[in-house]
Structure 1
């Protein structure tokens, strides 16, 4: 388990190497380190894929630059964290059309902790634009940032309910600065892409830094 004092650099990758430190593959879904970036491509409709580091973290402060370079605006890309295994992890994603989401997968079951319907002018929209994403995890509390600004999450009052955001309102829930969730205590960190009705999403990730929190 990798840990350290707040602000201490625990891990950093500029992707000018690091071939043996990341999960790489080349099928319908591709994860490759090339041209100084970690590039993920997903050619399957309505599907998510990720690449993670070998190290495991509990508390951390992670930032990464992400840029969609191909595919539809209706996409998802961002950070996967506290990945225990392929059936248990969290994701924080934004999209090229200006939305963001926080989700949890436990025993293979996906729960939107904060729905993808939440939009924000903070997100740099369009293909080939860079968004800097940040996730801060301390115990069972999580905070999320896009381009240096903290974003709120739409958390349902019923912990077993799906997050619902409509007409600029968090339905049967609250917009909060901090997500509290204790389902997964530690795991690997990495990056993720998501397709919806169209495939062919390609996203490049760079300048990933993990600090102690």
Structure 2
């Protein structure tokens, strides 16, 4: 075997080794954004949001969240993957959160899958402007909590099923309500009550839903927003008021 062929095999093996095993599983890519160029459909024109080195850097004001929605496409059944980078400096790691937004109808109606630097995750829904818990905050050992650590969050949307993953580990399977005609996707980041936190998003990808030979067992959504036994854990902060890059909600 020639040295040239050996070099190609080594390079290929390195590429495979560096590819995340938890990328979206569908065979057909519906949408990707590597954030090397700014897509105007995001409306990323606020001082709290910048795009650099293939990442969207979001620095929400204290106790405020930035909601970034891609307005170019709607998605119904889909596999959505997003890499979320933890802040490097936090004061209260239960009081800041970030993650993907999905099935967004408007700024009063959407779902989100959030993680905190303390290693907690939740699925929440905003319905007609009011928050409700779908899966309340709970610890997830798959979350990398180190300062600056990157976590790949994935939500698989199929019919009324929402399956959420952190770094290829299943977080929860629940029932949801897909908007008629599908919904938009996006990103959300929230700062602590008394400080600005810097979150970074990258490697957004949407595929179709891969066939699953094992039908998931669905857990009912907690529509009443009740909180499980909170005496045994610290409950991260509730969602803060959201702002949009243009500071004007878009229906």
Q: TM-score, normalised by structure 1?
A: 0.78
Counterpart residue number, 2:119 = 98
Partners of 1:105 and 1:135 in 2: CA distance: 17
- Of residues 98, 102, 111 in structure 2, which corresponds to 1:77? 98
Counterpart residue number, 1:138 = 158
Q: Contact 1:70/1:127 (CA < 8 Å) preserved in 2?
A: yes
Counterpart residue number, 2:86 = 68
* CA drift at 1:9: 0.2
Partners of 1:9 and 1:124 in 2: CA distance: 27
User: Given the alignment of the two structures, is residue 198 of structure 1 paired with residue 216 of structure 2, yes or no?
Assistant: no
1:183–1:134 distance in 2 versus 1, CA, 3 Å: closer
Partners of 1:134 and 1:183 in 2: CA distance: 17
* CA drift at 1:34: 1.9
Counterpart residue number, 1:7 = 27
* CA drift at 1:183: 6.2
More displaced, 82-91 or 11-20? 11-20
Q: Contact 2:59/2:191 (CA < 8 Å) preserved in 1?
A: no
CA deviations over 1:177-197 (Å, ceiling 9, x no partner): x21122634211011112343
For residues 17-96 of structure 1, what are the structure 2 equivalents within 5 Å?
17-27=37-47, 30-45=48-63, 47-53=64-70, 54-72=72-90, 73-74=93-94, 75-96=96-117
Residue 43 of structure 1 aligns to a residue in which SS? coil
User: Given the alignment of the two structures, is residue 187 of structure 1 paired with residue 183 of structure 2, yes or no?
Assistant: yes
1:137–1:19 distance in 2 versus 1, CA, 3 Å: same
Partners of 2:75 and 2:89 in 1: CA distance: 32
Partners of 1:111 and 1:15 in 2: CA distance: 31
CA deviations over 1:100-150 (Å, ceiling 9, x no partner): 00000011000011112x001111003200001000001211000001111
* CA drift at 1:48: 2.3
Residue 21 of structure 1 aligns to a residue in which SS? helix
Q: TM-score, normalised by structure 2?
A: 0.67
CA RMSD of aligned residues (A): 1.6
Higher strand share: 1
Higher helix share: 2
Q: Contact 1:42/1:201 (CA < 8 Å) preserved in 2?
A: yes
